[in-house]
Amino acid sequence: MEKEIISKINELVKKSEKEEYDTIVNSFKTINDECEYSDELKIIGLALSLYLNNDDINHPFAAYNFSLDDFPDEGIHFIEEVFENIESDEVKARLADILWLKKRKIEYAEIAIYSYISQAKKLEDFNNWVSTYIRIERALILSSFFKRKDDTLFNFVIAHIEDVLKRANGSDPLFLSANLMRLLIRFKQGDFNKYYEDSKKIAEASLNSGNYDKAKEHYLICIDFANLLGDKLLIQKSTINQAECYATSAISIATIDSILAAHWMQQAVETYKQVKGGKERKDELYTLLIEYQKNSVNQMKEILVPFDVSEQINHTIDVLEGKNLIESLIALTYKIIKPPSYERLEKNAKNYMSKFVFTHLMGSTYLDKEGKVIAKTPANSNDDENEKILWSEIVRLSSIEHLIMREGAIKPGREYILTNVYITEYDFLKVCLNNPFIQKGQELLFAKGLYAGFIGDFIVSTQLLVPLLENSLRYVLSNYGVNVSSINNYGVQEEMRLPSILEHEKSKEIFGKDLLNDLKILLIERRYGNLRNVVAHGLTTTETYFQYYIEYFWWLILRLCLFSIFDKTEVLES
């Protein structure tokens, strides 16, 4: 019986167009209950349906509604019986890896490592590099667990990485070499001098040919190798090269896309701040940045969201199609939708209140999930209370726009990028480095929050980003000369709190009233998000993180981190 099942598994694998994860999974999906040995084959199909996520070392396999922890014991026992006789390296690597994670036997990890590398060789394609890379990365992560006792497996994977880099010789058109070099940096392997020079040559060649994305990546790698070498002069030179690459990239697209040009020029300016004696060049680039920012404001026209969400979804996909990662993220945050205009919302709210006078005669009471009163809107009686009623109506209208934007653009856009662009936590870290919105030392925290939200883990993203946002707002105010701390009656220094930040005149000047109102409604308005309070005081439940405004909040923070300018021409001119 065992031989027959193995034969059937091998047969199903061979039916796939090529021995790769997606096509093999599709072969196993065709199994029906009447198929001979369907229960056993479905166990293999279940194991293959878990996607590989190398960013999570402890839980590298998962699905949207299933994890390895849910895998039945009898399924693991069956896999142990058959996996060594399976012909496919792809399937064998996956099954051996699962057995290693469940049983922690080194022989399973060894089989997985060799099978991953064997499959990586079969899939090697410099134009379609992701498939081979993720298998090499998983093999290296696995082998690193045994490095202290016996480095044979680890050295085997490192040797393969260096062999691929040698054969590619910098000529691969995309990012396989760059990502393999990052693995060497991460595990501090290889000849740092050699790979510094190699990466510098690749960066220069890419810059000269107009492949700016590849050039940027390799100049960043140069900085990392220079840091590993501990050579301060080399770090300085590499940082200048990186800044000039950002600037060249910005200048090349300034007439086509002011928003993207301003993003890269801002990166150049921020990078030059790290360069000793770089003030003159930084000021030159800053002049260009101001010019691009002014043009960007003109490019950010009022975006009217149609009520037909399906139309907005189609528009979102059309705008994102064919774009790389940064282009996609900037399009999602600045070119498809924008935060609501609160001047327009106020006008609409007044219009509504004038037409439906009786709606507010009795006032309103707002309850939380436990039935506790969390806010009240008074009945019409005097000007002060009418202002409160007006604000309550504005909150209601903004929540509707947030919902439409989330359903029509943010969620479908995020899922489209996730499906079509290879992205890791490190990509978000690059966005957060040299960022005027993010205080030094908090870049990785922001990157983790943004990446978690991007992959749909809003529990992690919200818990990280809510407090980080408050500190970033203080950080920006501080850089504009505002004293953001004070001494209380007990002689203790206290930081400016969020309500004071959002009401500060300098905040209104820097950020604009629309953004501040959006943050106020999301973070401290009890009738709506109240995120700052519910997160800080542990009042969230699992249900909280599935509300539409949570994803909208993530999008708003991504918008701030990607491009820290605000829709106020007069501020930019000053």
Write out the DSSP string of 256-309.
T-HHHHHHHHHHHHHHHTTSTT-HHHHHHHHHHHHHHHHHHHHHS---PPPS-H
Based on the fold, state whether residues 337 and 455 are members of the same structural domain.
yes
Q: Give the residue numbers spanning the domain of 272.
A: 191-299
What pLDDT is stored for residue 70 in this prediction? Answer: 77
What pLDDT is stored for residue 569 in this prediction? Answer: 37
CB 463 within 8 Å of CB 532? no
Based on the fold, state whether residues 272 and 357 are members of the same structural domain.
no
Q: Is 31 helix (H, G, I), strand (E, B) or coil?
A: coil
Residue 317 placed within a domain: yes
What pLDDT is stored for residue 28 in this prediction? Answer: 64
Based on the fold, state whether residues 384 and 451 are members of the same structural domain.
yes
Domain boundary among 299, 331, 354: 299
Residue 396 placed within a domain: yes
What pLDDT is stored for residue 269 in this prediction? Answer: 93
What pLDDT is stored for residue 9 in this prediction? Answer: 75
Based on the fold, state whether residues 380 and 473 are members of the same structural domain.
yes
Based on the fold, state whether residues 519 and 550 are members of the same structural domain.
yes
Cα(506)–Cα(497) distance, integer angstroms: 15
What pLDDT is stored for residue 13 in this prediction? Answer: 72
Cα(154)–Cα(161) distance, integer angstroms: 11
| Angle at the Cα of 205 from the Cα atoms of 200 and 209, rounded to 5 degrees | 150
Based on the fold, state whether residues 205 and 233 are members of the same structural domain.
yes
Q: Are strands 364-367 and 373-377 parallel, antiparallel or unpaired?
A: antiparallel
Residue 119 placed within a domain: no
Residue 220 placed within a domain: yes
Based on the fold, state whether residues 384 and 327 are members of the same structural domain.
yes
Residue 453 placed within a domain: yes
What pLDDT is stored for residue 206 in this prediction? Answer: 96
Q: What is the pLDDT of residues 72-95, one digit of tens each?
A: 888 888 889 888 888 889 889 999
Based on the fold, state whether residues 383 and 480 are members of the same structural domain.
yes
Number of structural domains (the chain) is 2
Contacts of 178 (CB under 8 A, 6+ apart): 199, 202, 214, 217, 218, 221
CATH number of domain containing 262: 1.25.40.10
Q: What is the pTM for the complete model shown?
A: 0.79
Based on the fold, state whether residues 260 and 352 are members of the same structural domain.
no
Based on the fold, state whether residues 321 and 283 are members of the same structural domain.
no
What pLDDT is stored for residue 243 in this prediction? Answer: 96
Cα(396)–Cα(335) distance, integer angstroms: 25
What pLDDT is stored for residue 365 in this prediction? Answer: 45
What is the separation, in whole angstroms, between the first and last Cα of the chain? 79
Over the chain (574 residues), the average pLDDT of each successive run of 10 is: 74 62 64 64 80 82 72 86 87 92 93 96 92 95 92 96 96 94 96 97 96 95 96 96 96 91 92 92 93 77 60 92 92 91 89 59 46 48 65 88 93 93 91 91 96 94 95 92 72 78 91 92 88 90 91 96 55 37
Residue 205 placed within a domain: yes
Residue 376 CB-density burial (10 A; 0-12 exposed, 13-18 middle, 19+ buried)? middle
Based on the fold, state whether residues 343 and 221 are members of the same structural domain.
no
Residue 54 placed within a domain: no
Domain boundary among 299, 317, 350: 299
What pLDDT is stored for residue 56 in this prediction? Answer: 81
Residue 460 placed within a domain: yes
Based on the fold, state whether residues 422 and 351 are members of the same structural domain.
yes
Domain boundary among 243, 267, 299: 299
Q: Is 63 helix (H, G, I), strand (E, B) or coil?
A: coil
